[in-house]
Amino acid sequence: MTGTWLAMATFLIYTILLIILGVSAGRSMIGLKAKEYVDEFYTGGRGMGAFVVAMVLAAGLCSAGTFVGTPGLAYKNGLTWVVLTNWQNFMNLMVLGVVGKKIGIIARRINARSYLDVFGARYEDSKAVLLLGGLSMLIFLVPYSTIQFVGGARMFEVMTGVNYYGGLILVTLVVILYTAFGGIRGTTLAAAIQGVVMTVAAILLFFFAVAKLGGLSAAMRAVEAVGLPSWVCPMESCLHSCTRTPGQCCVPW
């Protein structure tokens, strides 16, 4: 019971902090003219800084997809999925180092606020390109956002015992509040704070888990002991037709 109340207090303090960040970021836009307000809302002055950007990426890497989706896929298909998730580290280096820098230069040059503005300028406001861009956002962004809300609600339910739908409403309202009041600056600051917390938590979780289980080798033996050898067998994760002798990993036919 004490642990539940401690988790509730932690979530409450964290929620209040995020809302305060959003409101504080929004106060910097008070008194701006309409065009300046829109620019500030969507771009945040185009100067978040390297540390903030790094923490935003950390928050993305430690999101519900990593801590809920990946374990679910690993449970279903084996630990190969855990290895495959490492590609996102290189993806972020490509986005920032190769694509992001050039897009940033072009965006400042044409005063673009989004990728749609960049595509619009490149293809002379072609209706087909803008339509495809809007559809791609609808098709990919909505499911991605839904996953984050659902993941947050599930974790809130597990940690506090609060009904799933109550957690879903709370998570959604908090995100809407700091986004609506703070714009991209409020969202970025909130993500930066979350990135710091998630990075520290992920490091501590790894070391505490390894210490509790007695090392990675002991953890893998425990997984095999519960009757799920396919978890630790890369070949069986990919091939369903394989044979296995006791004490050995699967080999293909």
7 and 30 share one domain: yes
51 in the same domain as 147: yes
Per-residue confidence band for 92, with pLDDT thresholds at 50, 70 and 90: confident
Question: What contacts 24+ positions apart, CB below 8 Å, involve 9-13?
Answer: 11/156, 11/159, 11/160
Is 191 in the same domain as 226? no
- Residue 68 pLDDT > 60, yes or no? yes
Please give the residue range of the domain that contains residue 89: 2-213
Mean pLDDT of the chain: 75
Q: Give me the number of domains the chain comprises.
A: 2
The pLDDT of 37-62, averaged and rounded, is: 71
- Percentage of the chain lying above the pLDDT 90 cut: 0
| Nearest to 54, CA basis, from 13, 22, 109, 95 | 95
Mark whether 195 and 221 lie in a shared domain. Answer: no
Same domain, 137 and 226: no
Mean pLDDT in residue range 43-53: 70
Residues 163 and 208 in one domain: yes
Query: Which runs of consecutive H residues, i.e. helices, occur in the chain?
Result: 2-27, 34-43, 50-61, 64, 70-77, 80-84, 87-94, 101-110, 115-122, 127-136, 142-160, 164-213, 216-225, 234-238
pLDDT of residue 194: 79
Q: For the segment 181-200, what is each residue's pLDDT rounded down to a tens digit?
A: 777 777 777 777 877 887 88
Structure tokens at 48: 């978040």
Angle between helices 50-61 and 87-94 (to 10 degrees): 150
* pLDDT at residue 135 greater than cutoff 60: yes
What whole-number distance in Å separates Cα of residue 66 and Cα of residue 60?
Answer: 9
State the virtual CA torsion across 167, 58, 233, 220 in degrees, nearest 10. -80
Q: Is the pLDDT of residue 253 over 70?
A: no
Please answer whether residues 171 and 164 qualify as being in contact, where contact means their C-beta atoms are separated by less than 8 angstroms: no
- 239 with 160, same domain: the answer is no
**Residues 54 and 117 grouped into a single domain:** yes
Picking from 43-47, 74-78, 81-85, 229-233, which range would have the lowest pLDDT averaged per residue? Answer: 229-233
Least confident of 28-37, 89-98, 200-209: 28-37
**Model pLDDT, residue 246:** 44
Residue 18 shares a structural domain with residue 126:
yes
- Same domain for 133 and 196: yes
Shared domain check, 244 and 175: no
**Total-model pTM:** 0.65
Q: Residue 250 — pLDDT band, cuts 50, 70, 90? A: very low
pLDDT of residue 227: 58
| Residue 89 sits in the same domain as residue 189 | yes
Biggest CA-to-CA distance, the chain: 73
Average pLDDT value for residue range 163-171: 86
Residue 242 binned pLDDT confidence (cut-offs 50, 70, 90): very low
CB 237 within 8 Å of CB 77: yes
Average confidence (pLDDT) over 128-132: 85
- Predicted pLDDT at 237: 44
pLDDT of residue 232: 63
Contact call for residues 157 and 170 (beta carbons, < 8 A): no
